[in-house]
Structure 1
C-alpha cells in the first residue's frame, strides 16, 4: 500500500451530495484509477453540503424540498450498516438536509461509520491539516437569531433550521491559528470576482442580477474568508464548477482585495464593500497567508464528472512540523491519520458555551445567543483547561462512538408524508459535553419529552 502521508494529502472534493453516496464512491474509485491511485489511498472525501443524511422516511419530512422531489437516497444503508463508507468522509450541511439529524449533532459527530459531520460550525484535525467548516446557507432574517427550531418543524422552521447563525460564525472568528482547508455550502460573497466572472455571469445571468442587487453569496462566509485566509476553500450550492484565487495585500482583508481588482464590471462597483477607514481588518486575521485558492463544484450527477468531483494531492501545510501539530500525528495501522478534535476550537467552544441558547423542547422558548462578547483572555483561559484536561490526557482523538438510535429504513412501510419524527438524544453529543465538562444544552431524557407523542404535524410547505 502507498504510504501517502509523507507526500501530501490525497483528497477528493464533491460539491452537493444530494444523497447519492453509492454514485459518489463508485465514481471516486474510477477517478482515482485515472491518477494511478487505489481508492484506499485517499485520505479524505469532502462533501460540501446537501449531503442528505436521511435515515428513514420520517427524516424526509424534515428536509426542505417539495414532496415530489423527496428521495430516500443511499445514506440509510450506511446508517444501518448495510453499506460501509470506503473512504473517511467529512461533510457539512447545506439547505437540503435532514435538519433534525444535524441538530442532534450540533457540535459535530459521526453520521454513520466513517462519515463525520463538522456540525453547525466546527474545526477538526487530520494529521497536520486543520479543517474548518460552517453548515447551512446565509439568510439575513435568520442570521442574528438563536437556534430556535425544534421538532415538530412547521413550514417556516423547516427552512430556517438550515440557516447560518451569527453565533456560529463568531465562534470561528475567534480562531487565531492558521486554517488549511475551509468549507462552506454557499459561496463567500464576491468571491466570483477573483475568477473568470465574465464567463460566469454570461452563462449564469441570473447570478449577475443577484450580484447587482448585492444578494449573491454569503457575507458571513466572506468575513470568515477574510479572517481565516485558508490555503483552500471549497463550496457547493451554486451547481457549477468555478475556481478563483483571492489575493490579500498588506495584512488587509476582502474589502481591500476587492478594491484592488481592475476588471470588475462597473455596475458592480457600487455594491462592493468599502475599505475600512482604519485600513485595518475589523478583527486580527487568523493567518498571514497572502492568498486562498477557492473551488466550487456542481451537484452529483451533473455531466461531465469533473464538474462535481475533484481529486487532487495537497502539499503539506507550512505549519506541519510545528510543535502544535505533534498531538495529531499518530497513524493508524493502515498508515493513515485519525480525526482529532482541535485544541483551540475546544477552547472556543467552552468559552462561548454560556452564550449558546436553543429552544426549550416543550415550550419552544429561546433566548438570544451571543459569542461576540467573549474576550480573547477567556479563550486563553479555556485553552489552558483544554491543555490540562484533554491534550495532556491524550483525549484529542475523536472517538468512534457512533451507534444507530433512530429507526432504520424498512422497505414497504407506510409513512404519512406530513408526520414528523421524534427528537432523539444523541449519545455522541452527550459524550462531547462530558469531555468538555460543561452542561449539555441538547439533553432530552427521552424522545417523548422532546416532541410529545411525535404524531402528525401540520402540513409542511417546503421550498427547493
Structure 2
C-alpha cells in the first residue's frame, strides 16, 4: 500500500555516492518498502557529491584518486542507456569526480537520463521547492583564482578543478528569494556546534583538532547558510552521519546564532567569527535543519535517509509556470527565474581558460554584480523566457563521449578530449549570451572531439 501523494514531498538523501548507483537504487527501494512506500512515490533523490559520473576508462584518469583505487563504478551503464535511473536524481560534485565531464556542464544539465547535475553552482525548481547546490570543496589557495584547468589536466589541475571558486559563491549570495533545500559536499564551517558536537569530537577527535585550528568545514558555505537560511541543508564528504539545527532569530544571522550557543568549548569560542559579509535579514525567525551522511558502503542507515518533507508552505500560491506535472503526478524540473537572471548578469565575469590558447583572459566585468543588474536581467528573463513558456528544463541529453568498453586499452595517464556539450550550448542560447565553453573546429580537431556524437 502506497502513501497518498497529499502527504507532501518525499525525498531520499545520500551522502557520498562513490559511483555505486546500483547499490543506491536497490537500497532505496528496500528503504521505501519499510515506510510503506513504493519507489515511484519518491519525488527525487539527492546525492551530495563524489557522484563519479565516469563514462569510460579515459574519464577515470581525470579523477583525483590514486590509480590503484580508481574503479569504473556503475554510472557508465546509465550513461549508455543499459540501465535507467528509477527516480529523478539530483547531484552535486565533490572532490572525487570525473571533473572533465562535470566541467562540460558547468551550469548544470543531464548527466544521463533522469540524473541531473546542478552545476558548479545552481538552483532549480521542483514545483514550489527551490533547490540550490554548490559543488566541490573549499580550498583557500584556489578560492579567488579563475578556472584555468582545461584538458589535458596536469597533476595540479586534477586537484584544483573541483575547488570551489568565489565566482560561484558570489552568484548564490545574490539570491533574495527563499531557498528550501541546499546541498554542499563539505559541511558549512561551525555547523557542528549546533548539534551534538561533544559526541562528534569524542568519536572523531581529528574533527576537534581541525576545528581548533579553524580548518573544519567550508567558510564560503557558512556564508551561504547565513545568507539563504534554507529550510534544509544536506552534505556528505566527512563520512559520518550528523544532524544539527541552526535557529535564526528574526533579523539576525549566524553571528548571533553562534553567540547564543552555551556549550561551545572556550578554545573554539575564541575563534568564532563576529560578523559575516552577507546576511539575508528576515522579520520572522527561521530554522535550518542540517543533515550530513556517510559514504555508500557503510551501514545503510548511515548513508541513506528517506523522509517526507511535508507540504511546501506556499504550495497553495504556486506560480503558474512551475505547476506542470508529469503523467506520474510529479512536478517537472524547471529553471528558476531568479537564478537565470543571476546567471545572465554574472556571465561576463566568469573566468575560465580560453579553449584556444588555454590562457585565462581578464573578464570584461567586475566580479561583484549589483542587485540592480540582477533586477534588470529579471525583466529580460520574464520577457524572453517566462512569457515564452521556456522555463521547463528540456530533456536534451546527448551522449558525446564513447561508452565504456571493457576491451579498450588505456594508458595509465591517458585522458579524453574535451567535448563541447550541447546542453551547455543550449543554455547559453536560451539566455542569448556568448558561450565561453565553445571549441573552435580547429581546437576540436586537435582534441579529437570534432563531430563526435555517440548514440
Name the TM-score, length of structure 1 as normaliser: 0.93
Distance in 2 between residues matched to 1:365 and 1:418, nearest whole Å: 23
User: What is the DSSP-based 3-state SS (H/G/I as helix, E as strand, rest coil) of the residue aligned with 1:17?
Assistant: coil
Aligned residues of 1:430 and 1:440 also touching (Cα < 8 A): yes
1:330 to 320, 324, 332: 324
Which residue pairs with 1:144 in the alignment?
144
Structure 1 pair 23/368, CA: closer, same or farther in 2 (3 Å)? farther
Q: Is 2:176 the partner of 1:215?
A: no
Q: Is 2:280 the partner of 1:284?
A: yes
1:352 to 346, 349, 357: 346
Distance in 2 between residues matched to 1:107 and 1:223, nearest whole Å: 21
Structure 1 pair 288/366, CA: closer, same or farther in 2 (3 Å)? farther
Structure 1 pair 275/355, CA: closer, same or farther in 2 (3 Å)? closer
Which residue pairs with 2:74 in the alignment?
74
Which residue pairs with 2:295 in the alignment?
299
Distance in 1 between residues matched to 2:220 and 2:18, nearest whole Å: 24
Distance in 1 between residues matched to 2:197 and 2:291, nearest whole Å: 13
Alignment of 1:258-407 (within 5 A): 258-275=258-275, 282-285=278-281, 290-303=286-299, 305-322=300-317, 325-367=319-361, 372-407=367-402
Distance in 1 between residues matched to 2:27 and 2:59, nearest whole Å: 26
Which residue pairs with 2:106 in the alignment?
106
Aligned residues of 1:176 and 1:285 also touching (Cα < 8 A): no
Distance in 2 between residues matched to 1:3 and 1:393, nearest whole Å: 36
Q: Is 2:430 the partner of 1:435?
A: yes
Which residue pairs with 2:203 in the alignment?
203
- 1:361 offset after TM fit, Å? 2.0
Distance in 2 between residues matched to 1:105 and 1:344, nearest whole Å: 20
Aligned residues of 2:228 and 2:280 also touching (Cα < 8 A): no
Distance in 2 between residues matched to 1:283 and 1:265, nearest whole Å: 25
Which residue pairs with 1:132 in the alignment?
132
2:414 to 400, 419, 431: 419
Cα deviation, 1:236-284, whole Å, max 9, x if unaligned, reads 00000000000112322111111110000111111111147xxxx6343
Which residue pairs with 2:453 in the alignment?
none
User: What is the DSSP-based 3-state SS (H/G/I as helix, E as strand, rest coil) of the residue aligned with 2:315?
Assistant: coil
4+ residue stretches of structure 1 with deviation over 6 A? none
- 1:375 offset after TM fit, Å? 1.2
Which residue pairs with 1:458 in the alignment?
none
Distance in 2 between residues matched to 1:140 and 1:75, nearest whole Å: 31
Distance in 2 between residues matched to 1:206 and 1:258, nearest whole Å: 22
- 1:153 offset after TM fit, Å? 0.3
Distance in 1 between residues matched to 2:29 and 2:282, nearest whole Å: 36
- 1:449 offset after TM fit, Å? 3.1
Distance in 2 between residues matched to 1:127 and 1:349, nearest whole Å: 21
Deviates more, 1:246-255 or 1:46-55: 246-255
Distance in 2 between residues matched to 1:101 and 1:133, nearest whole Å: 17
- 1:327 offset after TM fit, Å? 1.2
Distance in 1 between residues matched to 2:283 and 2:228, nearest whole Å: 6
Aligned residues of 2:190 and 2:216 also touching (Cα < 8 A): yes
- 1:371 offset after TM fit, Å? 6.7
Aligned residues of 2:142 and 2:160 also touching (Cα < 8 A): yes
Cα RMSD between the aligned structures? 1.8
Cα deviation, 1:93-144, whole Å, max 9, x if unaligned, reads 0000000000000000000000000000000000111100000000000001
The aligned length equals 448
Which residue pairs with 2:452 in the alignment?
none
- 1:311 offset after TM fit, Å? 0.1
Aligned residues of 2:93 and 2:136 also touching (Cα < 8 A): yes
User: What is the DSSP-based 3-state SS (H/G/I as helix, E as strand, rest coil) of the residue aligned with 1:122?
Assistant: strand
